[in-house]
C-alpha cells in the first residue's frame, strides 16, 4: 500500500511539469480562442457579442478567398503523393546510390522556409532568374510575372511548397518499401506480373498506411502550415490572390488589432483541420480492423 | 535464333528502363539542388557582377560578402538570439519529455494511455490557432519581447512529438532491467538517469536534431512575440534583410547561406537519427 502511494506521488511529479507547459501552450489557448471568438476583445475587457464575428467573417471577401486558396492548395496533395510513391519506387529498385539520393532529395526539407522563400522570390520575380533564362533560350513568350500576377502567384507558391515537401514524402515511402518482404515482389514476378501490375498489387497495398498518413499530413500542411511561404514571398498579394487563412488571422490580429475576429477565423481553421484528422483516424481504425 | 533475339530485346528494354529511371532521378536531383546551388554561387558574387552575370559562376570571388553580412546592423545579435532560443527550448523540452515519458512507460495506471493519446493528438494542431490567446495572455504577464517567454512556447510546441517518441522507446526497454536497479535500492530518478537514459541515446539525439531544426527555422511565433529589433531571430531578420538589401541580392544570399550552415551541419551529424525519427513518427503499424 505504501509503495502504491509512493508511485502515485512519483507519477504526478514526473508528469506534472510537462502537463503544465502543454496546458499553457495548447489547452488554455484553445479554450480561450473559442471564448474570444464570441467577444469583442479590448485591452482591458471582453464584451460578449454573440455570433457577430462569425457573421463578419462569412461576408468578408478577404477571408473567403483565403479559405478558397487553402482549398486550391489541396491540388498539391495528389501531386505530392504520386511523386513520392513514384520516386520512392525508382529509388528502391535502383539500390545503387540511394544514400546519395536520399541526402540530396531530403535537403530541401532541412532548409528553413524563409530561406527557401527568399531564394525562390529571386528566381521567380519579374527580372529574376527564370525569366532571364527563358529569354536567353528564346522562349520569351513563356515569361510571366510569376509572383506578381494574380493568375500565377498561388501556383508559384504551390510549386515552392511541393519542392520543399516532396523530399519528406519520398523518404517516408522509401523507408516503408525497404521493410516490405522481398518475396512478395518475387512471387509477383514469377506470376508474370509486369512493372505496373507488380506495383499495383504489391506496393500499393503494402504502403497504404504510410500513404494515408502522408495524405493527412500534407492536407494539414496545405490548410494550416503555409504561413511562412506566403509571408516571405507574397504577403497574400497581389490583391488577395495568395491570401490564406493563417495569414488572414495574423493580419487581423496583429495589423488590425481585431483579436475577436482573428479568434473566430482560428476556430474555423481549427474545425476544418480537425475534420480531416477525424477522417484520418476513422480510415486508419477501419484499416486496422480489416 | 528466335531466343537470342528475344534476349537481346529484353536486354535493350532493361537498358532503356535503366537509363529512363536514371534520367528521371537526375532531373529531380537537379531541381532539388539548383536553388541551393544558385544561392551558393550568388552569395560569392559582387552585386555589380550579379547584374550582368545572374546565371554563371562568379568571375571574381566577393568573399567579403561574408564579413559584410555581420557588419549589417544586428545580424550578429540575431544569430545569438537564435542560438539561445534553440538551445534553451530544446533542453527544456527534452528534460520535461524525459520525465513525463518515464512516468508513462514505467508505471501502470488507469488513465496512462488516455494521457498519452491526448498528448499525441496535439501533434497535428497548427500553432496559428493558439497564437492570439497566447499573445493576449503573454502581454498581460509582460512576457512579450522576452526570450524566456518564447522558449516556453517552443518547448511546449515540441513536447507532444518528444513525449511520443520517448515513451515508445522507453516501453521497448525490458521492465526487468528497470526493476533490477530498483531492487538494488536505486530511486526512480536514479534508475532514469543511470539505466534508462544511457540506453536511450538514439531517440534523444533524434529529438535534439529534429527540435533544434524546428526551432531554428520557426518564423511565425518569433515574428509575433519578439518584435524589438535586438530580440529578433535570424528567420525574422532575414525578411528584414531582404527588403533592406533588395538591391544587393548577393549580400542577402550570403545571409541565407550563413543561417543555413549550422542546420546543414547538424543534419549531416545526425542524418541517421533524423530520418529515423521522422519516419518512426509515422511507421508504427
Which pLDDT score, from 0 to 100, does residue A288 have? 56
Interval B212-261: pLDDT, tens: 999 999 999 999 999 998 999 999 998 887 776 667 888 889 999 999 99
Check: CB of residue B266 under 8 Å from CB of residue A132.
no
- Considering the domain boundaries, does residue A245 fall inside one? yes
What's the confidence (pLDDT) of residue B224? 95
Mean of the per-residue pLDDT values for chain B? 85
Q: pLDDT by residue (tens digit) across B52-111?
A: 877 888 887 878 888 888 886 688 999 999 999 999 999 999 999 999 999 998 888 888
- Considering the domain architecture, whether residues B148 and B30 belong to the same structural domain is answered as no
- B38 and B86 together in one domain: no
Chain B residue with minimal CA distance to A115? B256
**Is residue A134 classed exposed, middle or buried when 0-12, 13-18 and 19+ CB atoms within 10 A define those classes?**
middle
Of the given ranges (A12-16, A195-199, B24-28, B43-47), which has the lowest mean pLDDT?
A: A195-199
Contact B25 A249 (CB under 8 A): no
pTM comes to 0.89
Is the predicted pLDDT of residue B284 greater than 60, yes or no?
Answer: no
CATH code for position A107: 1.10.3720.10
Reported as a single tens digit per residue, the pLDDT across B96-134 is 999 999 999 888 888 888 999 899 888 888 899 999 999
Tell whether A8 lies on the interface with B, counting CB pairs under 8 A: yes
B56 belongs to a structural domain:
no
Helix axes A153-178, A76-93, angle to 10 degrees: 40
Cell numbers 493519446: residue: B117
In a domain, B60, yes or no: no
Structural domain span for residue B212: 69-280
Split into its structural domains, chain B has a count of 2
Asked if residue B145 and residue B209 are part of one domain, the reply reads yes
What residues in B contact A33, CB-CB < 8 Å? 129-130, 132-133
pLDDT for residue B283: 45
A284 or B145, higher pLDDT: B145
For residue A151, give how far its alpha carbon lies from the nearest alpha carbon of chain B (Å): 23
Same domain, B39 and B118: no
If you average pLDDT over residues A53-79, what whole number do you get? 95
Same domain, B73 and B38: no
Instruction: Assess A51–B contact: CB distance below 8 Å, yes or no.
Output: no
- What is the number of domains present in chain A? 1
| pLDDT average, residue stretch B202-219 | 91
Residue A46 in any domain: the answer is no
Other Cβ atoms within 10 Å of A113 Cβ, number: 22
By C-alpha distance, which of A271, A267, A274, A275 is closest to A37?
A267
Q: B153 CA to chain A: closest CA distance, Å?
A: 6
Compute the CA torsion angle A228, A22, B209, B94 (nearest 10 deg): 160
The distance from CA A138 to its chain's CA centroid, rounded to whole angstroms, is 36
Distance between CA atoms of residues A138 and A132, nearest Å: 10
Assess whether B85 and B167 both reside in one domain: yes
My answer on whether B25 and B102 are in the same domain is no
Domain for residue A224, yes or no? yes
Contacts of A116 (CB under 8 A, 6+ apart): A108, A160, A163, A164, B35
The pLDDT score that the predictor gives to residue B6 is 54
ipTM: 0.89
Same structural domain, B39 and B73 = no
Amino acid at each position: 500500500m505504501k509503495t502504491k502511494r509512493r508511485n502515485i506521488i512519483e507519477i504526478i511529479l514526473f508528469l506534472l511539469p510537462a502537463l503544465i507547459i502543454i496546458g499553457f501552450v495548447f489547452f488554455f489557448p484553445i479554450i480561450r480562442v473559442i471564448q474570444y471568438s464570441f467577444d469583442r476583445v479590448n485591452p482591458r475587457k471582453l464584451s460578449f457579442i454573440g455570433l457577430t464575428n462569425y457573421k463578419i467573417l462569412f461576408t468578408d471577401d478577404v477571408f473567403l478567398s483565403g479559405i478558397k486558396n487553402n482549398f486550391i492548395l489541396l491540388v498539391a496533395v495528389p501531386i505530392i503523393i504520386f511523386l513520392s510513391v513514384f520516386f520512392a519506387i525508382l529509388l528502391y529498385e535502383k539500390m545503387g546510390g540511394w544514400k546519395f539520393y536520399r541526402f540530396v532529395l531530403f535537403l530541401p526539407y532541412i532548409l528553413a522556409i524563409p530561406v527557401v522563400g527568399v531564394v525562390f522570390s529571386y528566381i521567380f520575380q519579374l527580372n529574376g532568374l527564370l525569366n532571364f533564362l527563358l529569354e536567353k533560350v528564346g522562349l520569351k513568350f513563356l515569361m510571366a510575372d510569376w509572383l506578381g500576377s494574380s493568375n500565377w502567384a498561388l501556383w508559384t507558391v504551390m510549386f515552392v511548397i511541393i519542392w520543399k515537401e516532396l523530399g519528406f514524402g519520398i523518404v517516408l515511402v522509401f523507408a516503408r518499401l525497404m521493410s516490405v518482404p522481398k518475396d512478395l515482389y518475387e512471387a509477383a514476378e514469377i506470376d508474370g506480373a509486369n512493372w505496373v501490375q507488380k506495383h499495383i498489387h504489391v506496393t500499393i497495398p503494402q504502403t497504404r498506411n504510410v500513404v494515408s498518413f502522408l495524405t493527412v499530413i500534407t492536407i494539414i500542411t496545405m490548410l494550416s502550415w503555409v504561413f511562412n511561404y506566403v509571408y516571405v514571398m507574397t504577403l497574400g498579394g497581389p490583391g488577395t490572390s495568395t491570401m490564406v487563412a493563417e495569414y488572414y488571422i495574423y493580419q487581423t490580429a496583429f495589423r488590425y488589432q481585431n483579436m475577436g475576429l482573428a479568434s473566430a477565423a482560428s476556430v474555423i481553421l481549427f474545425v476544418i483541420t480537425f475534420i480531416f484528422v477525424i477522417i484520418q483516424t476513422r480510415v486508419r481504425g477501419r484499416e486496422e480492423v480489416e | 535464333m528466335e531466343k537470342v533475339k528475344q534476349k537481346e530485346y529484353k536486354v535493350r528494354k532493361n537498358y532503356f528502363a535503366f537509363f529512363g529511371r536514371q534520367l528521371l532521378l537526375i532531373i529531380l536531383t537537379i531541381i532539388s539542388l539548383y536553388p541551393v546551388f544558385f544561392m551558393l554561387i550568388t552569395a560569392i558574387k559582387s552585386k555589380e557582377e550579379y547584374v550582368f552575370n545572374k546565371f554563371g559562376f562568379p568571375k571574381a570571388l566577393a568573399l567579403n560578402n561574408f564579413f559584410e553580412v555581420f557588419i549589417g546592423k544586428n545580424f550578429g545579435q540575431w544569430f545569438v538570439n537564435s542560438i539561445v532560443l534553440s538551445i534553451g527550448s530544446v533542453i527544456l523540452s527534452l528534460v520535461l519529455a524525459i520525465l513525463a515519458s518515464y512516468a508513462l512507460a514505467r508505471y501502470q495506471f488507469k488513465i496512462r494511455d488516455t494521457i498519452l493519446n491526448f498528448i499525441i493528438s496535439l501533434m497535428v494542431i497548427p500553432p496559428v490557432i493558439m497564437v492570439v490567446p497566447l499573445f493576449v495572455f503573454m502581454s498581460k504577464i509582460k512576457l512579450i519581447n522576452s526570450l524566456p517567454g518564447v522558449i516556453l512556447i517552443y518547448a511546449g510546441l515540441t513536447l507532444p512529438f518528444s513525449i511520443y517518441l520517448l515513451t515508445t522507446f522507453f516501453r521497448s526497454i525490458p521492465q526487468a532491467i528497470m526493476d533490477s536497479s530498483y531492487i538494488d535500492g536505486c530511486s526512480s530518478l536514479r534508475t532514469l538517469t543511470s539505466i534508462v537514459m544511457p540506453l536511450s541515446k538514439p531517440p534523444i539525439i533524434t529529438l535534439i536534431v529534429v527540435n533544434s531544426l524546428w526551432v531554428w527555422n520557426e518564423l511565425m511565433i518569433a515574428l509575433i512575440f519578439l518584435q524589438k529589433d535586438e530580440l529578433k531571430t535570424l528567420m525574422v531578420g532575414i525578411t528584414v534583410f531582404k527588403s533592406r538589401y533588395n538591391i544587393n541580392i548577393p549580400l542577402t544570399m550570403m545571409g541565407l547561406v550563413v543561417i543555413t550552415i549550422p542546420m546543414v551541419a547538424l543534419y549531416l551529424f545526425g542524418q541517421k537519427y533524423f530520418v529515423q525519427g521522422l519516419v518512426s513518427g509515422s511507421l508504427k503499424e
